[in-house]
Structure 1
Amino acid sequence: MKVALVNIGRIVSGDFRHPDRAGDGILTDGGKIVAIGSADDFDLSSCDVVIDADGTTAIPGLIDSHVHITFGDYTPRQKTVGYLESYVHGGVTTAISASEVHVPGRPRDPEGVMALAVAARRCFDTYRPGGMRVHAGALILEPGLTRENLVEVKRLGVWLVKAGFGAFATPYGYAELIGWAHELGMTSLVHTGGSSIPGSSGIWAEHLLHLRPKVSFHVNGGPVAMPEEGFARLVDESDIALQVCTAGNLRTTLLTANLLRDAGQFERLLIATDTPTGSGIMPLGMLYTISHIASLTEIPPEWAIAAATGNNAAVYGLNSGILDVGRDADIVLVDACAGGSKNDAISALRNGDVPAVGAVVTDGIPRFVGRSRNTPATTRHVRVASSKVVQQFTAEHG
């Protein structure tokens, strides 16, 4: 499908170092962005769909790098069906598994956790709830797993490993498994903060500095934050990516963001939700955390958007998260909410407001155009200007 987004008021790239892209149009074809610039240079007659952005702001699709999926679009933790599809209406186009720990009766033996990770990975290979791309299957690290086990699951497509829920006596017990994962090119994720489920333990800065994972999950707490002195240590003594989550401690979210900005290492800040959990499901969670950072610190809104898009993409090796030629065509149109005090999405974020979502495109396919089910209406009128596709791209029919 060939899709053009025209009459865009501003293109925010998702790259905090170069936050803006010149132009008022984005052209996509075959699921990739093929041009960004003046829409006058596009051959709109060859497009299957043309979306008139009416001056709204284009941003990359948000990447939620901490989602506890199970199987299908269902969470047994909150007994909710369709939550992933609902997250698309909050601008989230990619979800990354934080492990399938909420599967009822989840196995804890090596063979069982391997089977669980592989099955989850395979189930989401082609299943895209609401158009969302889901990177499922994070191997839960348990005693008894061998290097050969990790080799086998990697061969079967699993590339994520998760520490924090295994039956180790102390968090230091994960070290050998994390080392093997890194040797195999897998991405290691470690629970950080107080215990989040019965049977798990707190993991603090001293543990992380020993384990050296790729990502410190919910460093601001999921939901309980680690001791205060640990934050500066992680920034100064490691290169671990520090993920902050909506379901965590807001004060330490802001602390982490400021520490990384001041250290000149903002690329290490990742925004996620840590849902579904006891905190519930949060279709607008990513937007809330972006607005918190943009309004309660001196960090520019464009940087906060990057922490939810391009930074995540870089750490996880994804082709989405940045609006640039050759990147995956995951695009969201946002605006100030109708009736609000600000006139554009970036000003609204700086004011602490959640922006309105006017359209979501994933893999080059419009999923809805006009209005999100989960936000107020946009100030401007996003619409389908022309379409050769027999499809109503509305919240009800998208």
Structure 2
Amino acid sequence: MITLIHGASHIIGGRLDNPVLDGDSVLIEDGVTSKVGFWSELDSENVDTTIDVKGAVISPGLIDPHTHPVLGDFTPRQNTLGWISSHLNGGVTTLISAGETHWPGRQRTPIGAKSIAMAAAQSSLDLRPGGAKLHGGALLIEPGITSSDFDEMVEAGVHLVGEVGLGSSIDPEKIRGPIEKARSRGWVIPMHVGGASVPGSHVVGSDLVLALKPDVICHANGGPTARPFEEILECILQTEAAIEVVQAGNTLALVKIVEYLNQNGLLARLQFGTDSPSGTGILPLGILRTIAYATAFGGVDPASALCCATGEVAARYHLDVGVIEAGRAADLVILDVPKGGQGTTALDSFARGDIPSVAMVLVDGEILVHPSRVTPPPANAPQISG
């Protein structure tokens, strides 16, 4: 199956070193991007389907690295089915678990943490809720987890750590051992930073960050309550961690953090998440809305912000998605000015603080959303032929 998408105003590459690619077209063969360039230069003789996006922006599918799934598309926190499908309609093609924290009856013990991570990882191996790619089963670190526990989890498909700080202890001497065991296996270490999020959770500030040096400072703008900006700045300056801002956090802190990273050449460390499902709710447009905040209030170039939400986070989590280039999975989102919106492209929408229209979403080259049921309709609907 060969699909040609053409007529784009911009093609977002996904990496900050080359945010906008040359060309207006993407050629897809059997679910994989084969060529990127100008329509006049691409061989379109054997194409089965052509899609004219009429000046829209082609971006890699968005990645939400901060979700709290349980099993598949069900969340007991909001007692809701189908939330991942709603995320897909918000342009998110890949979701990463930050821990199955809302698992009913979750036991904060080594065997409890291991069992939940293994069950959730096994559940997500071949599951595509709503068509999106879900990486579930993130281990919530507990004191006493052993090397043999890690070996068993690896065999079950676990490769993620949930937010450090959501287990039974935040004593660095008690949890340092399991963290180092995970790190030695190449697992990314994210850490909850901010106020307590749910009953039984901890307040985590810069002291624990500096003691354990995580790879990702989760919801630096609060989950949902932010630490003082001086503490956040200390974390930025004294670690190399990615700095995540989320829709379910403090908006003022979000703007301050993004402004600081942007003005000091640290944009490669910026990461967007939703921290959902949570008490704040289910946020299908959480990534798009946070990008709009970062561009309209934080001064970030919209194309660069899209890279921070796609290829940059994919590289951080060692995932083979988030980039538009030959040989990569054709997970794409077509973004346009919403009907009645300002500007000529979706990049203008972001700069004005608007959420663009999700005109189409493809996963592995297959059209799954056309148009989105959670955004306004596009100013110019894509035209499909063939």
Question: Is 1:196–2:206 an aligned residue pair?
Answer: no
Question: Is contact 1:294-1:352 (8 Å) kept?
Answer: yes
Partner of 1:187: helix, strand, or coil? Answer: coil
Letter in 2 for 1:97: S
Task: Tell me the distance in 1 between the aligned counterparts of 2:366 and 2:183.
Answer: 35
Task: Tell me the distance in 2 between the aligned counterparts of 1:106 and 1:141.
Answer: 13
- Return closer, same or farther for 1:376/1:172 CA change in 2, 3 Å cut-off: farther
Letter in 2 for 1:240: A
Which residue is 1:237 aligned to? Answer: 238
Question: Is contact 1:164-1:171 (8 Å) kept?
Answer: no
Q: How does 1:12-51 map to 2 (within 5 A)?
A: 12-51=12-51
Once the 2 structures are TM-superposed, how far is the Cα of residue 45 of structure 1 from its aligned partner?
4.2
- Return closer, same or farther for 1:169/1:333 CA change in 2, 3 Å cut-off: closer
Question: Is 1:227–2:228 an aligned residue pair?
Answer: yes
Once the 2 structures are TM-superposed, how far is the Cα of residue 105 of structure 1 from its aligned partner?
1.0
Task: Tell me the distance in 1 between the aligned counterparts of 2:307 and 2:142.
Answer: 34
Once the 2 structures are TM-superposed, how far is the Cα of residue 228 of structure 1 from its aligned partner?
1.9
Task: Tell me the distance in 2 between the aligned counterparts of 1:32 and 1:288.
Answer: 28
Task: Tell me the distance in 1 between the aligned counterparts of 2:14 and 2:142.
Answer: 36
Q: How does 1:1-398 map to 2 (within 5 A)?
A: 1-162=1-162, 163-168=164-169, 170=171, 173-369=174-370, 371-386=371-386
Letter in 2 for 1:209: L
> Which string of whole-angstrom CA distances, capped at 9 and with x for unpartnered residues, describes residues 77-127 of structure 1?
111111101111100000000111111112322222212111111111111
Q: Which moved more, 1:225-234 or 1:356-365?
A: 225-234
Question: Is contact 2:3-2:49 (8 Å) kept?
Answer: yes
Task: Tell me the distance in 2 between the aligned counterparts of 1:381 and 1:116.
Answer: 43
Q: Which moved more, 1:175-184 or 1:55-64?
A: 175-184
- Return closer, same or farther for 1:172/1:233 CA change in 2, 3 Å cut-off: farther
Deviation beyond 4 Å, 4+ runs, structure 1? none
TM-score normalized by the length of structure 2: 0.96
Task: Tell me the distance in 1 between the aligned counterparts of 2:8 and 2:357.
Answer: 15
> Which string of whole-angstrom CA distances, capped at 9 and with x for unpartnered residues, describes residues 332-379 of structure 1?
11011111222210111100000001110111211123x210111111
Task: Tell me the distance in 2 between the aligned counterparts of 1:180 and 1:294.
Answer: 38
Once the 2 structures are TM-superposed, how far is the Cα of residue 171 of structure 1 from its aligned partner?
5.3
Once the 2 structures are TM-superposed, how far is the Cα of residue 186 of structure 1 from its aligned partner?
1.3
Task: Tell me the distance in 1 between the aligned counterparts of 2:206 and 2:33.
Answer: 40
Query: Considering only aligned residues, what root-mean-square deviation do their CA atoms show, in Å?
Result: 1.5
Once the 2 structures are TM-superposed, how far is the Cα of residue 153 of structure 1 from its aligned partner?
1.0
Partner of 1:195: helix, strand, or coil? Answer: coil
The share of aligned pairs that are identical, in percent, is 37
Q: Which moved more, 1:241-250 or 1:152-161?
A: 152-161
- Return closer, same or farther for 1:307/1:169 CA change in 2, 3 Å cut-off: closer
Letter in 1 for 2:293: H
Task: Tell me the distance in 1 between the aligned counterparts of 2:383 and 2:299.
Answer: 34
Once the 2 structures are TM-superposed, how far is the Cα of residue 155 of structure 1 from its aligned partner?
3.0
> Which string of whole-angstrom CA distances, capped at 9 and with x for unpartnered residues, describes residues 23-78 of structure 1?
11101123321100022333434333321111111111100000101112111111
Partner of 1:93: helix, strand, or coil? Answer: strand
Once the 2 structures are TM-superposed, how far is the Cα of residue 264 of structure 1 from its aligned partner?
2.1
Structure 2: unaligned runs, 5 residues or longer: none
- Return closer, same or farther for 1:24/1:148 CA change in 2, 3 Å cut-off: same
Task: Tell me the distance in 2 between the aligned counterparts of 1:6 and 1:59.
Answer: 13
Structure 1: unaligned runs, 5 residues or longer: 387-398
Question: Is contact 2:262-2:299 (8 Å) kept?
Answer: no
- Return closer, same or farther for 1:43/1:102 CA change in 2, 3 Å cut-off: same
Question: Is contact 1:174-1:211 (8 Å) kept?
Answer: no
Once the 2 structures are TM-superposed, how far is the Cα of residue 215 of structure 1 from its aligned partner?
1.1
Question: Is contact 1:175-1:210 (8 Å) kept?
Answer: no
Letter in 2 for 1:379: A
Question: Is contact 1:160-1:189 (8 Å) kept?
Answer: no
Question: Is contact 1:172-1:211 (8 Å) kept?
Answer: no
Q: Which moved more, 1:296-305 or 1:256-265?
A: 256-265
Letter in 1 for 2:296: S
Letter in 1 for 2:141: L
